Structures are given as C-alpha cells and as structure tokens.
Amino acid sequence: MKKAIVVGASSGIGNHLAKLLVDNGYKVGITGRRIELLNNLQNAHQESIIVSSFNIDNIEENVAHLDQLAKELNGLDLLILSSGTGEINLNLDEKIEFQTTQTNVVGFTSIIDWSYNYFKQQGYGHLAAITSVAGLRGNYGAPAYSASKAYQINYLEGLRQKAKHDKLKIQITDIRPGFVKTAMAKGDGQFWVSNVEKASNQIFMALKYKKNVVYITKRWRIIAWILKLLPTWLHKEI
C-alpha cells in the first residue's frame, strides 16, 4: 500500500485529494488547523486516514509533526502541500502582506525542505505543491500573494534541478491552478472557474503520470502563455 501526506486537507482541494488518494488505495496522513474537519474526514475512512492537526506557520513544530506522521504511516511515497493563504490587499495592509509571506514562503519552505530531505534519505519520493498561475506576474491587488507564488514556483524548479544534479529519484510536481471555487478564490472578474472536484481530478491524474508542471484546469495554460509574453508596459495597464 502506498502512503501519502496531504498538508492542508481540512477543506477545498486538499480535502478532495485526500479522498481520491484513499479511493485509489493509499493510506493517507492529513494535516490542517481545523481538527474537527480533519476528524470528520477520518471518521469516513477509519482504516485509511491518520490525523495530525498543526499550522505550518509554526515552523518549529512542523518537523516533529511530519516525522510522526511518516512514522505512523510506516513510510512515505507522496507529499502534497495544499496549504496557503491569500487576500486582496488594495490598501497594502502590512499585516496581510506579512501573514501571506509567513505562510506562503516561510511555512512553505519548511514543509518542502522536510519533504525533500526525507525523500533524499529514503532514496525516492514524489513531492507536489499547489502554487498558482498568479505567480507568473505581479498583481497590484495582492502583491505578496503573487510574489509568494512566484517564490514557490522558482523554489520547486530549483529543487527539481537539484534532484537531477544529485541523481536522486525525487519527482517534483508544480500544480498551478487558475480560479477554483474554494475559500481562496477572492476578487471580481473571475473566469474559467473550476469546481473542486474537477480541479482535484485533474491534479490526481497529473500526479499519477508524474508531471513536472500542470495547469488547473488545463486551458489555463493559454493564460500562462499570454502572461509570459505580455510586455511590461502593457501589463502595467491591466
């Protein structure tokens, strides 16, 4: 039986991915801040789910929680990081910017580094994280969010290069959603909004086939292509 950890499984994409993994024969460790939601998921899958409630912002505790989960699972094949934060911040409230950076940069790095080092010691593994199409360019409405997602995209790319350079059997998947109907989807002008089930199913298939980068849903690759080509002078006018 394969083993996985889903960091951020309380709700949304992480919650649905945990269910998909169980349905496909995985034993799954789930984490999140809202213990009651985690327990609800465990109660529906008694034999297949282990719960550990913690906040990735508390980086001093992350290693101990993940070590314990991996021990209880008796190994680890896949870790999915589906925990993050983002707020529209037109007034540039420093508290929002700092909290976004703490979670999406500091907390992210803590979880990702633990995973990479665990798989390095083990000799193999699959690490996946949900970043965002928003990380491809800056955004006036949420500067820290888009910047933190750019950090995540580049960090994962760097680790993918590192794994290849060090000849390690570590697969790294960068999952870049557009708009998905979750609590994270904020702001006006949303389009091509996917439901959680469709998004999660596409993510699961990308993990199954060990993709390096995947856009969710698939047509967001078009938007990514446009964003990359858009000249700076025109991007400033959007």
Amino acid, single-letter form, for residue 199: A
Local confidence band at 233 (pLDDT 50, 70, 90 cut-offs) = low
Count other C-beta atoms under 10 Å from residue 114's C-beta.
Answer: 20
pTM score over 0.85: yes
> In the prediction, which pLDDT does 191 show?
58
Contact 76, 122 (CB under 8 A): yes
Name the residue among 26, 49, 10 with its Cα closest to residue 204.
26
Higher pLDDT, 36 or 110: 110
- 72: pLDDT strictly greater than 80: yes
For 178-218, what is each residue's pLDDT tens digit?
888 765 555 455 656 788 999 999 999 999 999 999 999 88
Of the listed ranges 15-19, 36-40, 150-154, the least confidently predicted one is 36-40
> In the prediction, which pLDDT does 237 show?
55
> In the prediction, which pLDDT does 194 show?
82
Over residues 6-22, mean pLDDT: 94
> In the prediction, which pLDDT does 45 show?
83
Domain span holding position 195: 3-235
Query: How many Cα atoms within 13 Å fall on the side-chain side of residue 6?
Result: 31
- 227: pLDDT strictly greater than 80: no
Higher pLDDT, 17 or 225: 17
Higher pLDDT, 155 or 40: 155
Domain count, the chain: 1
Residue owning tokens 């025109």: 234
Question: Residues for the chain: how many in total?
Answer: 238
pLDDT averaged over every residue in the chain: 91
Name the residue among 76, 85, 89, 157 with its Cα closest to residue 123.
76
Contact 176, 213 (CB under 8 A): yes
> In the prediction, which pLDDT does 230 show?
64
For 18-28, what is each residue's pLDDT tens digit?
999 999 999 99
> In the prediction, which pLDDT does 180 show?
84
> In the prediction, which pLDDT does 234 show?
54
Q: What CATH number is attached to the domain comprising 50? A: 3.40.50.720
> In the prediction, which pLDDT does 141 show?
93
